[in-house]
Amino acid sequence: MENITNDSIVTINVKYTDSEINLLINSLIMTCTTQIPTEDNGAWKRPYEQLLKDLKKIKGKALTLKEEGKDNEKIYQAEKKAKTEPGPCD
């Protein structure tokens, strides 16, 4: 597997529902717990385990935002626009 550097990291915005995140997490758990005899001692699982870890963090952050009463991106955008001063055309 190639080494990951800052140059090879890309940020992508993807929108998932809570149920889709749960399905992804469950699928990754099943993938990571599958016992497959390989010569690399399970090294093939590492990217999937990292993705699972990241998705669990995302799910936790989403739950925290929901508890604070913030449901989705539109609310964040509306709050951001409300806090900025009007522009020259407003």
Task: Report pLDDT digits (tens) over 13-31.
Answer: 888 888 999 999 999 999 9
Q: What is the pLDDT of residue 77?
A: 52
pTM strictly above 0.75:
no
Q: What is the pLDDT of residue 11?
A: 82
Q: What is the pLDDT of residue 89?
A: 54
Domain positions in the chain: 14-82
| Residue among 9, 10, 15, 4 nearest 62 (CA) | 15
Alpha carbon distance 71, 77 (integer Å)? 11
The residue behind tokens 């407003």 is: 90
**pLDDT(71) > 70:** no
Torsion on CA atoms 39, 43, 47, 51, rounded to nearest 10: 110
Query: Cα dihedral sign for 68, 66, 26, 31?
Result: negative
